[in-house]
Amino acid sequence: MTLSPLPDLLIRPLIEAALAEDLGRAGDITGQACIDADARLSVVFAARQDGRIAGLDCARLALAAMDPTATFEIVTPDGADAAPGAILARAEGNARAVLIAERTGLNLLGRLSGIATLTRAYVRLVEGTGATIVDTRKTTPGLRALEKYAVRCGGGTNHRFGLDDAILIKDNHVAACGGVGEAVRRARAFAGHLVKVEVEVDGLDQLEDALRHGPDVVMLDNFSLDDLKTAVGLSKGRAVLEASGGVNLATVRAIAETGVEVISVGALTHSAPVLDIGLDAA
């Protein structure tokens, strides 16, 4: 499947806010002091470690915001793997503008590539099991669209984007309405024909109660491997089963081998290390 980039319209406001934060009250006084106003600069964006690339449009739009006449040529596209030293993109523009845009572009490019790289690692570990790696809503406020895009670049799949995508009944919802079965019953009565219903359960007893009311998805929260296997047997395909909690690179393969269809990993977006990417004069 071809990876679809995010529209510039969604990215540009985030870039402009980041640039405004960096420019502060007086703009780049270092550039003003040291660089002629009409000087030009050619640069390359290069990977300094192995990783999966995501976020090149952030770097492109940061430069375009400061110099609309600048050029930006992508060499290693989003969704591709890069070895240390690989050129990701070449750019040329007004020197002051290039250096103003540098940090905003690199911050987002490194952050998103880090998410894509970590996602790639999880996806590779579950290959052949039939399990799908998905993200969560544990994203950086304001950057959810970008971070979930990075997950797709890494080969993962997106969970819901927000509270209005689908009904997801968590433990506190269950407590507030008196039980798993009652919560699912109310959700099924409320949901339109295009709205899916997922419920989180923390034990096999709750699973049985939930399945009687027809959820589309059941999230098995912090289940042991044995209980995950039992849950797969009990479900008999009546709902998609999603494993959540206690998932890391050391445990994900065993979780996938229990037969669950989906594994959600909050770490993809809340704990991914930044991929080291540099900008150098060409």
For residue 46, pLDDT over 60 is answered with yes
Dihedral over alpha carbons 167, 170, 175, 181 (to 10 degrees): 60
- Residue 116 structure tokens: 């894509």
> Which residues, other chains included, contact 27 with Cβ-Cβ below 8 Å and sequence gap of 6+?
100
Mean pLDDT over each residue of the chain, to the nearest integer: 97
- Residue 182 reports pLDDT greater than 80: yes
DSSP state of 128: T
For residues 59 and 40, give the distance between their C-alpha atoms in angstroms, rounded to a whole number: 18
Which whole number is the average pLDDT over 234-250? 97
pLDDT of residue 31: 98
Average pLDDT on 78-86 reads 98
Position 102 scores a pLDDT of 98
Cβ pair 233, 241 in contact under 8 A:
no
CA triple 187-190-195, angle to 5 deg? 80
* pLDDT above 60 for 261: yes
Q: Could you give the domains of the chain?
A: 8-116+273-281 (3.90.1170.20), 124-270 (3.20.20.70)
Residue 240 has φ and ψ, to the nearest 5°, of -70, 135
Q: Which helix (H) or strand (E) holds 119?
A: helix 95-125
pLDDT tens profile 203-214:
999 999 999 999
Residues with a known catalytic role: 103, 138, 170, 200, 221
pLDDT band of 3, cuts 50, 70, 90: confident
Across 138-252, the runs of DSSP E, i.e. the strands, are 167-169, 197-201, 217-221, 240-244
Closest CA to 106 of 121, 123, 122, 91: 91
- The rounded distance, in Å, linking the Cα atoms of 134 and 269 is 11
Note the pLDDT of residue 121. 98
Question: Which residue type occupies 167?
Answer: I
CA angle (126, 132, 135) in 5-degree steps? 110
The answer, yes or no, to whether residue 47 has pLDDT greater than 60, is yes
Q: Which of 8, 10, 19, 7 is nearest to 107 (CA)?
A: 19
The residue assigned the tokens 């950057």 is: 143
Strands 87-94 vs 40-47: parallel, antiparallel or unpaired: antiparallel
pLDDT tens digits, 267-282: 999 999 999 999 999 9
Res 1: pLDDT: 56
- Residue 157 DSSP symbol: B
User: What is the distance between the alpha carbons of residues 160 and 151, in angstroms, rounded to a whole number?
Assistant: 13
Q: What is the pLDDT of residue 2?
A: 73
For residue 266, the 8-state DSSP code is: T
Residue 219 sits at φ, ψ, to 5 deg, of -90, 120
Percent of the chain with pLDDT over 90: 98
pLDDT-derived band at 134 (thresholds 50, 70, 90) equals: very high
Distances (CA, A) of 57 to 4, 161, 241, 264: 12, 21, 35, 27
